[in-house]
Structure 1
Amino acid sequence: MVDFTSSSDASTLTAADDVLVRWVRADQLLSVRRSVRAVVPSGMAVGLAAAGVALYSSASSTEPLAWLLLVVLSNAFRAFVCRSVRASERSPGGLDELGIAGQLRLVTLSSFLSGCVWALLPMFCSSEVPSQTLFFMTVVCGVCAGSVIYSAAYAPVPVVFVTPALLSVTGWLLWTGGFYHNALALMVVMYLGTLVHASLRGDRAYQVSSRLKNEALFMASELRQTHAQSSRTARELDFRANHDSLTGLFNREGFFEAASRFDHAMGSRHDHAALMLDLDGFKAVNDAFGHKTGDQVLQDVGRWLQARLAKHDAVVGRWGGDEFAVFYHPRGEQVGQGGKEGHEGQGAQGPHQGPDAPEAVAEELIRSIGQATSSYGGQLGLSIGICTGHDCSVAEMLSFSDEALYEAKRLGRNRCHRFDHALHSRLLSRRDIERDLAEAIASNAICVWYQPILGEGGHRLHSLEALLRWQHPRHGWVAPADVIYAAANTGLAERLLRHILGEICKGIEQLSAAGARFDDVPVAMNVSPREMAQLPVDAIVLDCLAKHGLPTHRLQIEITEEVALDTSAAKMRLRALAEAGISIVIDDFGVGYSSLASLRGEHVRQVKIDRSFILNLASSPGSRLMVEAVIRLGQSLFIEVVAEGVENREELEALKALGSPLLQGYYFMRPAPLAKVIAWAEQREDAATAQS
């Protein structure tokens, strides 16, 4: 027969069986000890009676007294061996199998010695006095019967006791001789066999009953252990499900649940504060020191937050990445209480006062953040968004504090900001934008306007910059950055990029149809850092140009300086676009973190001098020197230089004096639909031709 039991299951069953065997043997030892201790007093009494009869019938008192002394010593030894009756001996912490076997052998030895003492009793018998012989024979047989009755749990103990005693009786009867004595000897032997058989059957019956009992105990013990293990596992799984594995703080789900319980326990009549924290400069830690150090910083910050906020009974969690969330009840006095103040739906009331006011707590955390991040040898900042209220849910408060955090980082970082009317309006606007973005793309409500870039001192159209435009039905014109942000949040980034690129390709076709003067005018398309990092921009651009049958030199990709130097993936995509014939334009040149390094790549064909230098051109010698240096650098590297943001005649003349080859700004024309730009360019070139 095939055994399908696995080796692990077989080993488990063997171990359980070993435990049961040990428990049964321990029960036998315990039962024998109890029975021996119970019969020792009666054995002493019977021994005294037998010794008294022997003294009465014997001419000498030496032998009876010597035998009585042996009885006393043997019973004392048996009592000593069986002195300990402890139920703990069968527990896992009690005796092992070898210890139990040794104790049983010792009890058996004491029983054997006692049986040998009783085997001496027939020496007081006399064939001449039948009544005396009958007395001693009856005593021996009675003692043997009692031994079997009391010690049935373990057969060796009664067997070794009755065997020498009854064999001694049998031997005396056979030695005396005669028909009746021989017949009696035969009966004693049969009696001995019956007692041994009864002892063995009692042993087996006891083992069966003991095993059944111990199996039940073992199963109960296993169930208790399994239940305890299951409880521990459930608690561990619950902890892992609700806590961050790195810091040990609540994760998002655990934080939300704990904060909701806290909110419910305090009641809606009390204000709560939600703080969203973000480490400023944490990315630089990972880049400079590695992720292991970054993880250590996050762990240090987690412990520091728990220690700092313990006095406020705050719920602290890791929201994700280097963001942390805090929820607590400010106990200080509140200014301006009484009804729902502040914006609709945010539940904000007047500012709290006291050391546990949200602003005070946030400022204290910002001041002391260095204590938590000094282990790696650097210094990080901390930006905090705050929301207080009692008439909105925990989820809303966390969303509001996250919006306030975004504003704090926008305002310069390492500061705190409270969620207010303006942020609430902006949040509602962004939610509407995200909700309506997909429909706007599908209905072509998102369009492209163009702003000209001029050469020859502002007289000839050199190229166009395509700019995203969307007039929302409720919120009016939406800033391009907000549209791109909404697309990223809603998973529509690639769809938006393809839509804008398709509109630009249609614009290039419209330029070609407008006349020969526009045949070679390229169009620059802005690509955000997030798009360049996360989307296959090179494949999308080349695929769209191929579908429209347009040459690659008609399109330029305009990026910020940071993208050009950010990741290997961005560099690879830019290289692929440049090799296909698409010019790469660096926007906001001069304000990034490695301006000259961005010009090393062979794919850069144009740079735009940032507006901040043009604005201070007349009053700042440094700005004039910077603009002139960039222009000369572009000439030496054969890179086109565009001065963007020209807004008045003075700036135009100053740039002309510096030899700026390309110009762009509101002074010439604001962004407009392509048809209007084409008409403007035709009119401007015609006027320039007529003047010349």
Structure 2
Amino acid sequence: MRQTQANGTLASSKTILIVNLVTMLTAAELIIPLHDNAGRLLAWMALLSFFSVLRFLLAKVLLKKQLASRQPEDVIKIMSVAAFFQGLSWSLLPNVFFHLDMLGSDAPVMLILIGLAGAAMLRQSFTSQTAFSFTTPILLACAWNFLQHGGVVAIISTLDLILLASFLLYLMAKAEQRAVEGEIAKFTRDHATQSLIIANEDIRQNNMRLEILANCDPVTGLFNRIYLNGKISGALAAATVSEQKVALLLFDVDRFKRINDAFGHHGGDQFLTIVGQRLKNAAGLDATTARISGDEFAVLITTDDVRQKSIALVQAMVECDLPPITINGTSLVPNLSAGLVFFPSGGITADEIFSSASLALLHAKQTGRKQWREFDPKFKQITDRQRQIEQDLKDAIQNEVITAWFQPQMDLKSGAVVSFEALVRWLHPRFGYISPPEIINAAQATNLSQALTVLIARNVCALLKALPDRDFSAATVALNISPREFAIYNVAKMLDDVTAAHGINRQRIEVEITEEAILDPDIAGEQLRQMETSGYKLALDDFGIGYSSLAYLISLNIGRLKIDRSIITNISESSVNQALVAAMVGFGRALDVEIVVEGVETADDVKALTAMGCDVAQGFYYARPMPADALMDWLQQASNLAQNDSAHRASA
């Protein structure tokens, strides 16, 4: 409808030009005898002619560019503006260029202006916006002229003009409504005719479409999962009888959600269609290529050289850099991950084969982008282990089977114990000791991160309350916080609640974070500042292997930097690592930050680290992590040894 209105507005431009120029000449003939001012008249005629011709030329340009079919709203707005200036030129005649008395001697001019406005409303009623833009300044000029005349006649004439304008506007609205209804009726008839023409063709192709929909993915045109399942079952049956080789490959588009979010579902579908076609071309005609879910594809290969062809395909699609795909003018390089399984090592049924391929794909994605893995029976054991750990985690936390062990941290100069680090430990009844990363990942997968950290924080508080009995009232205990926890809950508030419940001095708790946390200040920054305000000490763990922002490091007032054990291992034999540690120590001295080294295992390491100026060390050379009660015994023994050593030196 807007296209039709835009085209109608442009088509009437020639008629409008002629009418305005003829009417202008008529008005000039009426004005000259009564107002002998040819200069003003010529100026007005030049202004009106300029805007009339401009409106006509604009229409010609827009018609030539066929803009009405592509941007009808813009065309109507442009022509409405042109009509407004043309109408404004008329409105300047009685009040600016001349001071006409249109209720007296210049009444014929009034008839021309009102007649021109009425004609425009009726002639251009199909596009009321343009007509309204043209007539509004004319009617307002007439009303103002009437009021300037003064008296009862002026008031009555103004009211009559308002009534006339209202009536004309009503007629214009009704005319536009009828015109629109007529056009809609025409469109409807045309559409019905076209529908009848294609109805027979639709009916003829209906069965073909149903067959395609039953077996094919509507987005990519590849086979769907239902069809693939049937092909897998048939291939496995044939392989069982004739020893035919079978391989199933699953491909997943890395980070496809970002593409879908950035370019919408339509752009995402375009991307998947191109990826699917490339995969089909690479697999060849003797393979079955299918789209089985949102961004996941499968290829079934049953040729004699199945292993060679499968590995070649996965290398070509995963290991090699694929050509970019252009979506909405943006080039995107597709990256795929893949899982590969062969019959019968991955199972003997379609479900088992598919499950094995999915496990292989899962392990590929866990190792990063652009990776592929061949199915290994160990994958199922690992998955079963992860699932069992996640199932048992909640009870282990509630029953406090999970607990904190503590490793002493020693002053390198004095050899005294100055602090401790809390480390999570879980002795599982089936799997034995579960590694801390497994525990943390399971907690995040089951939304138990807060419950786990609360449990360890309580263990830390219990140790802090017991340490004064061993003359360690000034010692601190470090609590590790995973960076991802800051986005899940308010860690600062949780720590405040736990320490308040146990009556612990917050300055005796050190919160250890990794560099991931300070690299995302929008999430962790505010909570870290809250912790600092509350009095907790802040320490940066694994320093030297990440990408810390030094400016943010300074703003957080980090009190300790813990150098990663990978740098400390065999430090006495590595000049490169010694130089690196020396630089870190210098950095710490410049910022007045204490340097802690972990992973110290030999006396030579201790000697080298002491010489480099490191402050605090922890590692197996001093003590392994131990439960709280064992730590108390260890501290007592360390205290006895220190006393005996002091007594021996005194007697000597």
Mapping of residues 151-550 of structure 1, within 5 Å? 248=219, 259-260=228-229, 262-264=231-233, 266=235, 271=246, 273-277=248-252, 279=254, 291-292=262-263, 300=271, 303-309=274-280, 311=284, 312-317=287-292, 324-333=295-304, 352-355=306-309, 357=310, 359-372=311-324, 382-389=336-343, 391=347, 400-405=356-361, 407-408=363-364, 414-457=370-413, 459-512=415-468, 514-515=469-470, 517-550=471-504
Question: Which residue number in structure 2 is paired with residue 94 of structure 1?
Answer: none
> Residue 663 in 1 paired to residue 617 in 2?
yes
Q: Compared with structure 1, are the counterparts of its residues 295 and 529 closer, same or farther at alpha carbon in structure 2 (3 Å cutoff)?
A: farther
Runs (5+) with no aligned partner, structure 2: 1-191, 240-245, 647-652
Contact 1:366 1:414 in 2 (8 A): yes
Q: CA deviation at 1:503?
A: 2.5
Contact 1:249 1:317 in 2 (8 A): no
Pair member with larger Rg: 1
Distance in 2 separating the partners of 1:550 and 1:255: 61
Q: CA deviation at 1:402?
A: 4.9
More off after superposition, 450-459 vs 640-649? 450-459
Q: Compared with structure 1, are the counterparts of its residues 519 and 374 closer, same or farther at alpha carbon in structure 2 (3 Å cutoff)?
A: farther
Q: Which amino acid in structure 2 is aligned with residue 316 of structure 1?
A: R
Q: CA deviation at 1:301?
A: 5.7
Contact 2:412 2:610 in 1 (8 A): no
Question: Which residue number in structure 1 is paired with residue 627 of structure 2?
Answer: 673
Distance in 2 separating the partners of 1:577 and 1:644: 24
Secondary structure of 2:545's partner? coil
> Residue 684 in 1 paired to residue 638 in 2?
yes
Q: Compared with structure 1, are the counterparts of its residues 380 and 304 closer, same or farther at alpha carbon in structure 2 (3 Å cutoff)?
A: closer
Task: State the Cα deviation string for residues 620-653 of structure 1 (Å, max 9, x = none).
Answer: 3221111111112112212111011101111111
Mapping of residues 567-586 of structure 1, within 5 Å? 567-586=521-540
Distance in 1 separating the partners of 2:269 and 2:491: 34
Task: State the Cα deviation string for residues 482-504 of structure 1 (Å, max 9, x = none).
Answer: 11112222232222222222232
Distance in 2 separating the partners of 1:586 and 1:565: 12
Question: Which residue number in structure 2 is paired with residue 93 of structure 1?
Answer: none
Q: Which amino acid in structure 2 is aligned with residue 427 of structure 1?
A: T
Q: Which amino acid in structure 2 is aligned with residue 364 of structure 1?
A: A
Q: CA deviation at 1:480?
A: 1.0
Secondary structure of 1:577's partner? helix
Contact 2:595 2:615 in 1 (8 A): yes
Alignment root-mean-square deviation, CA: 4.0
Runs (5+) with no aligned partner, structure 1: 1-217, 335-351
Q: Compared with structure 1, are the counterparts of its residues 297 and 524 closer, same or farther at alpha carbon in structure 2 (3 Å cutoff)?
A: farther
> Residue 594 in 1 paired to residue 543 in 2?
no
Distance in 1 separating the partners of 2:626 and 2:270: 52
Question: Which residue number in structure 1 is paired with residue 574 of structure 2?
Answer: 620
Distance in 1 separating the partners of 2:312 and 2:573: 42
Number of residue pairs matched?
A: 430
Q: CA deviation at 1:657?
A: 0.7
Q: Compared with structure 1, are the counterparts of its residues 266 and 599 closer, same or farther at alpha carbon in structure 2 (3 Å cutoff)?
A: same
Task: State the Cα deviation string for residues 154-200 of structure 1 (Å, max 9, x = none).
Answer: xxxxxxxxxxxxxxxxxxxxxxxxxxxxxxxxxxxxxxxxxxxxxxx
Contact 1:274 1:397 in 2 (8 A): no
Q: Compared with structure 1, are the counterparts of its residues 392 and 331 closer, same or farther at alpha carbon in structure 2 (3 Å cutoff)?
A: closer
Among 641, 653, 659, the alignment partner of 2:607 is: 653
Secondary structure of 2:571's partner? coil
Please report the TM-score for the alignment, with normalisation by the length of structure 1.
0.55
Secondary structure of 2:626's partner? coil
Q: CA deviation at 1:591?
A: 0.5
Q: Compared with structure 1, are the counterparts of its residues 593 and 602 closer, same or farther at alpha carbon in structure 2 (3 Å cutoff)?
A: closer
Q: Compared with structure 1, are the counterparts of its residues 295 and 383 closer, same or farther at alpha carbon in structure 2 (3 Å cutoff)?
A: farther
Task: State the Cα deviation string for residues 232-273 of structure 1 (Å, max 9, x = none).
Answer: 9xx99x99xx989xxx4699xx97656545545656555451
Secondary structure of 2:370's partner? coil
Q: CA deviation at 1:561?
A: 0.9
Question: Which residue number in structure 1 is paired with residue 100 of structure 2?
Answer: none
Mapping of residues 127-166 of structure 1, within 5 Å? none
Secondary structure of 2:301's partner? coil
Q: Which amino acid in structure 2 is aligned with residue 618 of structure 1?
A: S
Q: CA deviation at 1:441?
A: 1.5
Please report the TM-score for the alignment, with normalisation by the length of structure 2.
0.58
Distance in 2 separating the partners of 1:300 and 1:307: 11
More off after superposition, 660-669 vs 632-641? 632-641
> Residue 644 in 1 paired to residue 615 in 2?
no
Question: Which residue number in structure 2 is paired with residue 558 of structure 1?
Answer: 512
Q: Which amino acid in structure 2 is aligned with residue 444 of structure 1?
A: E
Q: Which amino acid in structure 2 is aligned with residue 467 of structure 1?
A: L
Q: CA deviation at 1:597?
A: 4.9
Secondary structure of 2:625's partner? coil
Contact 2:236 2:350 in 1 (8 A): no
Secondary structure of 1:457's partner? coil
Contact 1:273 1:387 in 2 (8 A): yes
Q: Which amino acid in structure 2 is aligned with residue 315 of structure 1?
A: A
Secondary structure of 1:444's partner? coil
Q: Compared with structure 1, are the counterparts of its residues 327 and 519 closer, same or farther at alpha carbon in structure 2 (3 Å cutoff)?
A: same
Task: State the Cα deviation string for residues 375-411 of structure 1 (Å, max 9, x = none).
Answer: 8568675443333446367676565445434544565
Task: State the Cα deviation string for residues 117-169 of structure 1 (Å, max 9, x = none).
Answer: xxxxxxxxxxxxxxxxxxxxxxxxxxxxxxxxxxxxxxxxxxxxxxxxxxxxx
Distance in 2 separating the partners of 1:396 and 1:570: 43
